[in-house]
Structure 1
Amino acid sequence: MRPSPVTATVDFARDGVQHGFLRLPHSRDESAWGAIMTPITVVKNGDGPTALLTGANHGDEYEGPIALMELASTLEHAAVRGRVIIVPAMNYPAFRAGTRTSPIDKGNLNRSFPGRPDGSVTEKIADYFQRCLLPLADYVLDIHAGGKTLTFLPFAAAHELADKDQQARCLAAARAFAAPYHLLLLEIDCAGMYDTAAEALGKVFVSTELGGGGTASAETVAIARRGVRNFLSHAGILQAPPDPRPSRRLAMPDAACYVVSDAAGLLEMRVDPGRPCARAR
C-alpha cells in the first residue's frame, strides 16, 4: 500500500509541547496547490502510555473541539507522564462547515475506516488515523455529541467486545470519564467506524454522546472538559487526581432499544430524554 499523503508538522517522539498540523494536499479551484491543515497538539514527557484524544469526527458536534482546544492550549508537559495526542477536529473540513459529513466529498469519517491513501479526502484522513495515529496510542477517546439531528442524555460508552478483558478496561475508562451516564453501547452498524478500528487494534476506546440539538450547552462542555482530564488521570498519564462524579449505568440489552418510524411525517415528542417512560407509550 502506498504511504499516506498526510504529513505531520510535529515530532511525535519529542518531549515538550508542540502545536502543528496534519497537512493533506488538496488541489481545488480556490488553491491549486492547497492543503487541508488539521490542527494537532502533542504533549510528551518521557516514557509512559499514549492517549489519542479526538473531537469533531462529525463536524456539527462541538463539545469535543471546545474541550480539546482548551486542553491543547493549557496542558503542560510537566503535568503528564507519557504522551497526549490531541486532534480537536478530526474531520476538519466538516468542522469548518458545521456539518456532519465533509462538504468536499460528503464523506462520513466515522463510516470510512480503514480508509484509503488513494481515496477521497475523507478516506485519506481515515487512512492516516488508521495507519499512523492509532498504532501510537494505548488509550483512545473520541468525543461525540448529537449534532443537529439527535439529542442525548450525556453519556460515555464502551462496546460489547469478544475480548472481555479489553471490554472491561474500556468500560472502566468510560466510567472514569464521569459523565452523568455510562453504558455498553450497541451500535446499529459498526462497519467502517473509528471505534471499531481502534478496538480491533486492542486499544482502550471510549466514545461519548453529550447533548446535541445543533448546539453545545455550558453543562455539556463542562462534562467534556472534566471528562477528558478524568480519562487521562485514569490512564495514568495526567499526574493529577480525577474529579469523580456519580455516573448511572444504563442498560442496552438489544436492538429493541432503538425505536424508529417507518413513515415520514411530523414527530411529536411526548417524553423528554431521561424521564420515565412505559413501554406502551
Structure 2
Amino acid sequence: MLQMQLAPSPIAATVDFAAPGVSHGFLRLPHSRDDAAWGSVMTPITVVNHGEGPTALLTGANHGDEYEGPIALFDLAATVRAEEVTGRLIIVPAMNYPAFAAGTRTSPIDRGNLNRSFPGRPDGTVTQKLADYFQRVLLPMADVVLDFHSGGKTLDFLPYCAAHILPDKRQEAAAFDLVRAFGAPWSVRMLEIDAVGMYDTAAEEMGKTFVTTELGGGGTASARTAGIAKRGLRNLLVAAGVLRGEVAAQPTRWLDMPDADCFTFAEDGGLIEFLADLGDAVEQGQPVARIFPVTRTGLAPVAVHARRGGLMMARHFPGIVKPGDCVAVIGVEVQP
C-alpha cells in the first residue's frame, strides 16, 4: 500500500523494455547542478529481447570502485546478439553511475551508498531516486538478478560467487544452483552483517533468484578476475535459461560463513602488517595481523586475532587502518 502512494519515479528510460532485439540507451535522472541547470545523471542500459523466457537483471558498480562487473557487463552489452537470447536481458553495467565515474564507493553527489539505500525514495537524494527506480521498476521485471561486487579500494577477496541462506529453501536452492554454474574458484554461503537497505535484500524479499560476487579488490581488476567475471556471467545466463549455449564447467571450492565470528575488526588504528595471506588456513585465536601505532616510534604493535578457525577469505587492503575497520574475514571450507 505504501509503494502505491509514492510519486512516480523521476527517472525516464530511453529504451523500450518490451521491444524485440538489442536496444542501447540510458536511465535519465534530472539533476540540476552548478555547471548544468537542466542537467541529468545518465546511466547506460542495454535491453535484449528475444523469444519467451525469463528476465535476467544484470548489474555492476553498485559501488563505484569495483570493476570486474562493469568489465563483464559492458563487454556483454557490446557483443550479445538477440538470437543468442531466450527471454530478456536488462544490463546496467554501472548501477551507481556517479560513483563509477568518480571511482568512489559512494556517490560524489550526495555521499549515498546505493547498496544501503533501498527501497529508496522518488523524492529523495540522487542515490535514493536510483534505488527507488530499481525497487519499483527494474526488480519487478526480473526473475534472476546478478549483482557483481568486488573489494573496491578497501578490501581484497578470494574470487568467489555467492548467495544467501534464506527462509524459502526453494528460492535458496535456485540461487545456489546458479552459484555452482557460475564456476568461480570459490563459492560461498554468505552471511551479511549489515543487510539493512541492501539491493540483495530488496530482490530476495520479492522472491527473486539473487546471486552476487566478490571477485578481488584493491580498486582494480586483473586479467584473471575479469576473466572469471566474463566466463561466470555467461555460465550463469546459460544455466538460467536466458542465453543459448553450454555451461563451461569450472571446479569450485565451497566456503561457509556460519556466524559473526567470521569477521575480525580493528580496535586500534595505524599501520597494518598481515601475518596471513588470502587462502591461508588460520586457527581460532591466531594472530592474523599486527597494527603499529604511527604517532611516534618505539611503541609495540597490537596483535589482531582470528575469532574462529578457517581460511582467510578477505582482508583489509590499504596499509593504514582505523578503529572499527574490518581487517579479515575467515570462512570455513565445506563440502558442496
Q: Out of 45, 49, 61, which is 2:50 matched to? A: 45
- In structure 1, the residue matched to 2:70 is 65
Whether 2:161 is the aligned partner of 1:150: answer: no
- Give 1:112 deviation, angstroms: 0.1
Q: 3-state DSSP class of the match of 2:179?
A: helix
Identity, % of aligned positions? 65
Aligned-partner Cα distance in 2 for 1:135–1:47: 17
AA aligned to 1:261 is: A
Unaligned runs of 5+ in 1: none
Q: 3-state DSSP class of the match of 1:241?
A: coil
- Give 1:279 deviation, angstroms: 2.2
Aligned-partner Cα distance in 2 for 1:8–1:242: 32
- In structure 2, the residue matched to 1:182 is 187
Residues 3-53 of structure 1, C-alpha deviations (whole Å, 9 max, x = no match): 000010000001100000000000000100010110000011021100000
Which is worse superposed, 265-274 or 23-32? Answer: 265-274
**C-alpha RMSD over aligned residues:** 0.7
Which is worse superposed, 167-176 or 69-78? Answer: 167-176
- In structure 2, the residue matched to 1:102 is 107
Aligned-partner Cα distance in 2 for 1:80–1:133: 19
Structure number with the higher strand fraction is 2
Q: 3-state DSSP class of the match of 1:129?
A: helix
Counting only pairs closer than 5 Å after superposition, residues 54-203 of structure 1 correspond to structure 2 as 54-203=59-208
Aligned-partner Cα distance in 2 for 1:17–1:70: 14
Query: What's the TM-score once normalised by structure 1's chain length?
Result: 0.99
- Give 1:278 deviation, angstroms: 2.2
Q: 3-state DSSP class of the match of 2:129?
A: helix
- In structure 1, the residue matched to 2:285 is 280
- Give 1:68 deviation, angstroms: 0.4
Q: 3-state DSSP class of the match of 2:70?
A: helix
Which is worse superposed, 242-251 or 126-135? Answer: 242-251
- Give 1:280 deviation, angstroms: 3.1
Q: 3-state DSSP class of the match of 1:266?
A: strand
- In structure 1, the residue matched to 2:213 is 208
Runs of 4+ with deviation above 2 angstroms: none
- In structure 2, the residue matched to 1:252 is 257
- In structure 2, the residue matched to 1:33 is 38
May I ask how many residue pairs the two structures share in their alignment? 281
Q: 3-state DSSP class of the match of 2:23?
A: strand
Q: 3-state DSSP class of the match of 1:259?
A: strand
